[in-house]
Chain A
Amino acid sequence: MSYSLDFGWLYGALGAIGRGAAMTVFLIVVTTLAGILISVLAAAGRRSGTRWLRQAIGVYVEVIRNTPFLVQLFFIFFGLPSMGIRLDPVMAAIVAMTLNMAAYTTEIVGAGLDAVPLGQREAASALGLRPRLVFVKIVLPQALKVIFPALTSQVVIMMLESAVVSQIAVRDLTYEADMLQARTFRAFETYLVVTLVYLGLSVVVRRVLVAVGRRTLSAGVT
């Protein structure tokens, strides 16, 4: 039995692949910004908030980290409407991805905050900076610098995991691949091309983040 690969469909499919890739990139950009913002707040809250808040954050982190992303996505998209919270697919994907990413990055940011020597905080307060300024201007930049490589990896992992949002009909790269293979009957070739696009995206995202980290935090990332 012989099977010959056929990539004749590819030229006509470039538009669809491009649109899908754009959606995937859009999702990961929004998620990264929202997720890191939330995780900075959560990591700080876990270290200074009331006991009740600390425990709530701890439960959130453990629940997200110990259940599959796909289950979280289905719960948010299919489960929450019965409580009256109805989200459209893209919104549900953004919420699910942000909650997922923030749980992982809360731990990462927390480790970074712990790595900043106490003397830095004391020196800043001795100079008369208010506690909030000490955190924003002194502690956070140093923490982010230390954890930048870990954050970069987490963003790439999240982007790869975002392939499953196609299951709730978000028109991302995987969704477009599903549509293409249904039209061309060239399932293997289609998924092979899209896999390579993902591989390229993860390389590019990593490069971009490293460059951003170098410029803004002078973080020495390789």
Chain B
Amino acid sequence: MIEFTFWDILRNLLFATRWTVLLSAAAFIGGTVVGIAILMLRISKRSWARRFASGYIALFQGTPLLMQLFLMFFGLPMLGFRIEPWTAAVLALTFFASAYLAEIWRSGVEALPLGQWDAGASLGLHRVQELRLVILPQAFAITRAPVVGFLVQLIKGTALTSIIGFDELLRTSNAITNATFQPFTVYGLVAVIFFVLCYPLTQYARTLEKREFAH
């Protein structure tokens, strides 16, 4: 049996951390793109679009992320795609993030005074321009704190992808535990690494929130 020192364990965990970070970043970027599309539907003038978007949001907020991962992992191969854990993980987390981000931004849009829309219209702006130049920049600005807060949730959510076999931090730690029989140390370290990733963001969200209240 190979002997693992504390440093071997830590080094292996830190190597795996980059996959957690990469997956979080990919899902956040993907979630932003899809989330903006869902937001457009959610605040559309057409009632079918609004209904579709709120159904989409309710579906992702009302079911476990683990089930979403499983459905992606087992469902896509049926459509003929060859699927690997990484693809399933990115796609599932993207859709998961898009639902939450769309809902956060919608709250920002609705928090704006109606006069902002009127002002945009009275300047002769087309609806798309109005959204792009007047509404969305303000909606994004006032929802920065909850978005950062959600990013923390997303980073923690990546731990679930270990269950469908994506080699991120937690799955690596399961393998190390099986080799070293030191679950206390290994899972303790994993918790510390996640804490180091998430805590600064939590604090940043808190600062943003205070700044928002100060206005």
Q: Does B195 touch A at the CB level, under 8 Å?
A: yes
A191 near B188: Cβ-Cβ < 8 Å: no
B62 near A71: Cβ-Cβ < 8 Å: no
CB distance from A146 to the nearest CB of B (A): 18
User: How many pairs, one residue from A and one from B, have CB atoms within 8 Å of each other in the complex?
Assistant: 115
Q: Mark A180-193, 1 if CB is under 8 A from B, else 0.
A: 01000001100110
Contacting residue for A163 out of B64, B152, B186, B194, CB 8 A: B64
Q: Mark B146-177, 1 if CB is under 8 A from A, else 0.
A: 00000010001111101100000010001001
Q: Does A135 touch B at the CB level, under 8 Å?
A: no
Q: Which of B157, B190, B191, B195 has the most CB of A within 10 A?
A: B191
Q: Mark B75-101, 1 if CB is under 8 A from A, else 0.
A: 100111000000000000000000000
CA distance A70 to B170 in the complex (A): 9
Q: Does A1 touch B at the CB level, under 8 Å?
A: yes
Contact residues in A for B111 (Cβ distance below 8 Å): none
A67 near B198: Cβ-Cβ < 8 Å: yes
B170 near A160: Cβ-Cβ < 8 Å: no
Please judge, given known A-B contacts A167-B163, A187-B70, whether A68 and B157 are in contact too, CB under 8 Å.
yes
CB distance from B82 to the nearest CB of A (A): 11
Q: Does B4 touch A at the CB level, under 8 Å?
A: no
Contact residues in A for B59 (Cβ distance below 8 Å): 199
Q: Does A66 touch B at the CB level, under 8 Å?
A: yes
CB-nearest residue of chain B to A66: B198
B188 near A66: Cβ-Cβ < 8 Å: no
A1 near B80: Cβ-Cβ < 8 Å: yes
Contact residues in B for A81 (Cβ distance below 8 Å): 183
B62 near A82: Cβ-Cβ < 8 Å: no
CA distance A79 to B79 in the complex (A): 41
Contact residues in B for A181 (Cβ distance below 8 Å): 74
CA distance A187 to B182 in the complex (A): 34
B191 near A161: Cβ-Cβ < 8 Å: no
B152 near A66: Cβ-Cβ < 8 Å: yes
CA distance A75 to B182 in the complex (A): 11
CB distance from B156 to the nearest CB of A (A): 4
CB distance from B207 to the nearest CB of A (A): 15
Q: Does A148 touch B at the CB level, under 8 Å?
A: no
Contacting residue for A66 out of B187, B190, B195, CB 8 A: B195
Contact residues in A for B67 (Cβ distance below 8 Å): 163, 174, 191, 194-195, 198
Contact residues in B for A198 (Cβ distance below 8 Å): 62-64, 67
Q: Does A32 touch B at the CB level, under 8 Å?
A: no
Contacting residue for B64 out of A63, A75, A161, CB 8 A: A161
Q: Which of B59, B158, B159 has the most CB of A within 10 A?
A: B159
**Measuring CB to CB, which residues of chain B are less than 8 angstroms from any residue of chain A?**
59, 62-68, 70-71, 74-75, 78-80, 152, 156-160, 162-163, 170, 174, 177, 182-184, 186-188, 190-191, 194-195, 198-199, 202
Additional A-B contacts beyond A66-B194, A192-B75 (18; CB < 8 A): A66-B202, A67-B191, A70-B159, A75-B191, A79-B183, A82-B184, A160-B62, A160-B63, A164-B163, A174-B67, A188-B75, A188-B78, A191-B71, A195-B63, A195-B64, A195-B71, A199-B59, A199-B63
Q: List 16 A-B contacts (CB under 8 A).
A: A66-B195, A67-B198, A68-B158, A70-B159, A71-B170, A71-B187, A71-B190, A79-B187, A161-B64, A174-B67, A177-B70, A191-B71, A191-B74, A195-B64, A195-B68, A195-B71
